[in-house]
Amino acid sequence: MGIVRILGIMLLVAGTVFLVSAWRATDSMVERAAQKLTGRYTESTQRDLAIGGAGVVGGVLLLALGGGKRRR
């Protein structure tokens, strides 16, 4: 297993943890109140959701495309 695939796994796990913790934060009382008033989540929750989603996508791409053996 190459270093790129190991980094992909690490990024996938970290992104998933970040995404799940941000998703749980959307159910808090403060977030629900902010969403009722403004129609959106707070900036920090939106940022956390975006970073987590980007981490998951990046990890999947590294696993799928990175680290293939090349013939020389």
**Sign of torsion over alpha carbons 22, 26, 29, 32:** positive
Q: In this structure, what token pair is assigned to residue 23?
A: 């998703």
Q: What's the Rg (C-alpha) of the chain?
A: 17
What pTM does this model have?
Answer: 0.80
Give me the residues of the chain with pLDDT under 70, please. 67-72
pLDDT at 72: 52
pLDDT at 67: 67
pLDDT at 9: 94
Helix (H, G, I), strand (E, B) or coil at 27: coil
Sorted by where each begins, the domain ranges of the chain are 3-65
Q: In this structure, what token pair is assigned to residue 47?
A: 């940022």
pLDDT at 66: 79
pLDDT at 11: 95
